[in-house]
Structure 1
Amino acid sequence: MEQFKCIGVTGRQGRAEASDTLTRLLQFLGDRKLSVFLDERIDNLLPGHGLPVCQRTEMGERCDLVIVVGGDGSLLGAARDLVHYNVPVIGVNRGRLGFLTDICPSELETQLSEVLEGQYLEESRFLMEAQVKRDGTLIGEGSALNDVVLHPGKSTRIIEFELYIDGQFVYKQRSDGLIISTPTGSTAYALSGGGPIMHPTLDAIVLVPMFPHMLTNRPLVVDGNSELKLVISTNNDIYPQVSCDGQIHIGGAPGDQIIIRKKPEKLRAIHPLNHNFYEACRSKLRWNYQEYSR
């Protein structure tokens, strides 16, 4: 296994818990005499740290491991920025569920010691890219590790749109929108919309209708290499939005086309040796029925 010598550190801004964990992390890395670069976005959280500061693009070019301190949202943003550089990423959880940031802060030193010594698990996670086109002209684009969502924005009215998969017409739907999720995102927004949980190593995409007008519109799982096209009907009176990971938002209009496909680059996700997807589901989704059988 690869051993890491140059470490990039990024994370969530504005929370005291994250700052405390960042301080411990930098102390730990400093004690091991490793080269460390700090994301400029969190520079102000650690006054007087004395470390070189850089943008994530430079971090991707110079580091052989990036550690994200924060919640899943923090890792989603880092993944989109770093996927082009083939640098592995690992997360220390300072959020809520922490499906992606799976190192517990209380075990930070123990678990990271094993990772830095080459004892870890590595997974390949794919991202999607979305393009919004108007009259054939690109007006916006974004990437997503979790999901791409067509939704009505601030409106409460339903959206009418058509779905095509690999050029084949699938259906015309009237609903609050559509969640298009990777396996990584299947435990996030898609799950709350009634979608299936998919193992993160699957090469598949799930489409989850949001409150469809016809109850027979159910979640649909398709091949991960499929090209999806949504056409917003010209009959719509509202201007819906396309959101990527809930962090990038593109305004749409009647007649727009949204093209969604897998990105060619993949994220290298690092986990501690004791990482287990099903255990994560049991603990974070409370599948352990014994808790409720008393």
Structure 2
Amino acid sequence: MDAAVGIVAQRDNERAQGLAAKLVETLERGVDHGGTSGVETVVDDATGEAIGEPAVPVAAMADRDLVVSIGGDGTLLFVAREVGSTPILGVNFGEVGFLNAVAPADAVDVVTDLVSQRRETGAFEGRKLARLEASAPDGDWTLEPALNEVVVHGKRRGHGGGATIEVRVDGDQYTESRADGVLVATPTGSTAYNLSEGGPLVHPSMDALVVTQMAAADAMPPLVVDPETDLELTVSGSDTAYVINDGRNRQQLEPPATVAVSLADDPVTLVGPREDFVESLGKLE
């Protein structure tokens, strides 16, 4: 069974774009890999303009069998938002690479091996990464799923910009304090914003979520909970507030307001080699 492959290169990164061009040539023409010729490929709009190949918006790659993300973790987060549960392979042009386990020098071999695997078995072997969904309890709004974290904060971070935020866990109050904000992170997101706010690292094999306060006046320790836990964050004491997922999508709130945070229905699917989590930790500053 052949595979239709989408390729997304980090914007304005000539090395990433060059690798995208090499992958297109290899997969479509079988250059140096005779068994992969004839695979249908397409690249994202910006890459297509740079390398002169057929291009579509990244969101249009959701019907592909595989999407290759070439860049840092930020590029893969963007790709995941756009293509949902479509299998993704991450090629690392960033510095740490928690999500991108494939080195650029290995990318052609890994991608062609995956295509061969699909031809033989009809599927890719992958692992699921949980995503979070933030919504109003009354269903008035729902943000797109977040792979890293959901953050609730006041009108701005810092002096005079915080809010009072109550955290309820399965209906019971865990904490209520004046704070810059509160975040709920997945294991994937534990190495990102959560870590910078003093939250714990969570091994990617764990099935858990982390609740971490941000510069709280009366702080409680970060709390690790089961992913099925009913989490509600209620914000008050501010004339406006926001809920933001993965630092990108946001919903303005009119306090007092409550945000429900739960697992999204569709996780992200990563394929290919797994990152060495412990080794990647050594690259953190």
TM-score, scaled to structure 1: 0.83
Determine the structure 1 residue equivalent to 2:121. none
The aligned counterpart of 1:22 is 20
In the alignment, which residue of structure 2 is the partner of 1:195?
Answer: 199
In the TM superposition, 1:1-294 aligns within 5 A as 5-30=3-28, 31=30, 32-33=36-37, 34-40=39-45, 42-46=47-51, 48-49=52-53, 51=54, 53-61=55-63, 63-83=64-84, 86-118=85-117, 122-132=126-136, 136=138, 138-139=140-141, 141-156=143-158, 157-215=161-219, 217-233=220-236, 235-237=237-239, 239-272=240-273, 275-282=275-282, 284-285=283-284
**How far did 1:108 drift?**
1.9
Please list the CA deviations of residues 27-83 of structure 1 after superposition, one character each: whole Å capped at 9, or x if unmatched: 23233321112233543232x22x3x334444222x211111121111112212322
Does the CA contact (< 8 Å) of 1:4 and 1:65 recur in 2? no
Residue 220 to residue 213, structure 1, CA distance change in 2 (3 Å): same
SS of residue paired to 2:143: strand
Question: Per the alignment, in what secondary structure is the counterpart of residue 197 of structure 1?
Answer: coil
CA distance in 2 between partners of 1:208 and 1:100 (Å): 22
Which whole-Å deviations, capped at 9, do the CAs of 1:211-232 have from their partners, x for residues lacking one? 11124x1100000112211111
- Report the counterpart of residue 33 of structure 2 in structure 1: none
| In structure 2, distance between residues paired with 1:185 and 1:126 | 10
Query: Partner amino acid for 2:42?
Result: F
Q: Deviations over 1:149-202 (max 9, x none)?
A: 123354532210111122222221211111210011111111111111112132
Structure 2 length-normalised TM? 0.85
Structure with greater strand percent: 1
> CA separation in 2, counterparts of 1:37 and 1:112?
14
1:36 maps to a residue whose letter is T
CA apart distance, 1:87: 2.4
For 1:115, the aligned partner's letter is: L
The answer to whether the 8 A contact 1:124-1:201 is kept is: no
| Secondary structure in 1 matching 2:5 | strand
Q: 1:41 to 1:138 in 2, by over 3 A?
A: farther
